[in-house]
A = this chain, B = another copy of it.
Amino acid sequence: MKRSPKFGIVSRRDKEEAIKLAYKVYDFLKVSGYDVVVDCETYDRSRSHPFDERDRVPLEEFDVDFIIAIGGDGTILRIEHKTKREIPILSINMGSLGFLTEVEPHETFFALSKLLDGDYFIDERIKLRTYLNGENTVPDALNEDAILTGIPGKIVHLKYYVDDGLADDIRADGLIVATPTGSTGYAMSAGGPFVDPRIDALVIAPLAPIRLNSRPMIVPAFSKILVRNETCKRKLILAIDGQFYTTLDPSTEIEIVKSPRRTKFVRFSKEFYPKYPIKLKERF
């Protein structure tokens, strides 16, 4: 007999309404007889809702079959940066953008029923793995690695290589390397195109380059992208998904490849158009 799935619950931390809905989901799943854990930060912000303290587990230690995320893209990125395994995420939109989220709050219990019935599919998205001087000490990116000048307004001189061949040599505010998922984010503000997530490719987009013929590029996801800082004294900032920040010494070599890890979303429809383009229009 197939064992019953375990659930983890994560809510955005700054919205009472989201935590309230998180509790309702928790309660529904517990009453239905499932094992449920709730992440510590969600638990701690929930003063008035009676999650059972024994179900309080740090996100880093989640060992569940599905995560129910209540929030926006930020909540999903937090889950991705902290969990250790590729746990499928069902995301309920309580954010403002909601590019990655699947269902609206009023659809929550209808969506949970479909999930429990097995009436869903998994949408896998590629991520970026980053090596700094050969070592992977930073989180994987679901959206993008932004390699930025350490001093706002002072341009950096960067060279970037695709599979060891020089791809471009720029003086710019920085360089964005994005997944298809991230193509509608920072990379698009830098002039990049929308990339259908079914394509196994990456966007490389210079940020406010001095030379106008430095264009965004789309390269195979199996490429090795190497970025070198040619500005001998200027530190760089590496911003991953707008969530994780680190300062890099000028001599740091940044290598970006496709991660062995993927992000898995629970989806109820394989239709991509016109849903995604409509979200794009609403955003811009």
The chain A residues found within 8 Å of chain B, CB to CB, are 146, 148-154, 161-168, 172-174, 183, 186, 188-196, 198-201, 203, 205, 207-213, 215-220, 223, 237, 239, 242, 245, 271-275, 277, 280-281, 283-284
How many copies altogether?
Answer: 4
A211: chain B residues within 8 A (beta carbon): 213, 283-284
Residue of B nearest to A236 (CB): B152
How far apart are the CA atoms of A151 and B216 in the complex, in Å? 24
Interface contact B154-A152, CB-CB below 8 Å: no
Interface contact A167-B277, CB-CB below 8 Å: yes
How far apart are the CA atoms of A194 and B202 in the complex, in Å? 12
Interface contact A277-B168, CB-CB below 8 Å: yes
How far apart are the CA atoms of A85 and B247 in the complex, in Å? 41
Residue of B nearest to A205 (CB): B193
Interface contact B215-A213, CB-CB below 8 Å: no
How far apart are the CA atoms of A190 and B22 in the complex, in Å? 42
Other than the known A165-B271, A165-B274, A173-B208, what 9 A-B pairs have Cβ atoms closer than 8 Å?
A: A152-B152, A167-B274, A167-B277, A189-B208, A190-B208, A193-B216, A193-B218, A194-B215, A194-B218
Query: What are 29 A-B pairs with beta-carbon distances under 8 A?
Result: A146-B152, A151-B245, A153-B237, A162-B272, A165-B271, A165-B273, A165-B275, A166-B273, A167-B273, A173-B173, A173-B207, A173-B208, A188-B212, A190-B208, A191-B191, A192-B193, A193-B193, A193-B216, A193-B218, A194-B216, A194-B218, A196-B217, A196-B219, A199-B201, A199-B219, A211-B213, A212-B212, A213-B213, A213-B284
How far apart are the CA atoms of A220 and B242 in the complex, in Å? 28
A151: chain B residues within 8 A (beta carbon): 245
How far apart are the CA atoms of A161 and B213 in the complex, in Å? 23
How far apart are the CA atoms of A159 and B242 in the complex, in Å? 22
| Min C-beta distance of A22 to chain B, whole Å | 26
How far apart are the CA atoms of A172 and B152 in the complex, in Å? 13
A201 interface neighbour in B166, B216, B218, Cβ under 8 Å:
B218
Residue of B nearest to A216 (CB): B193
A172: chain B residues within 8 A (beta carbon): 189
How far apart are the CA atoms of A280 and B214 in the complex, in Å? 9
How far apart are the CA atoms of A205 and B212 in the complex, in Å? 15
Interface contact A161-B273, CB-CB below 8 Å: yes
Interface contact A153-B198, CB-CB below 8 Å: no
Interface contact A152-B161, CB-CB below 8 Å: no
How far apart are the CA atoms of A265 and B73 in the complex, in Å? 44
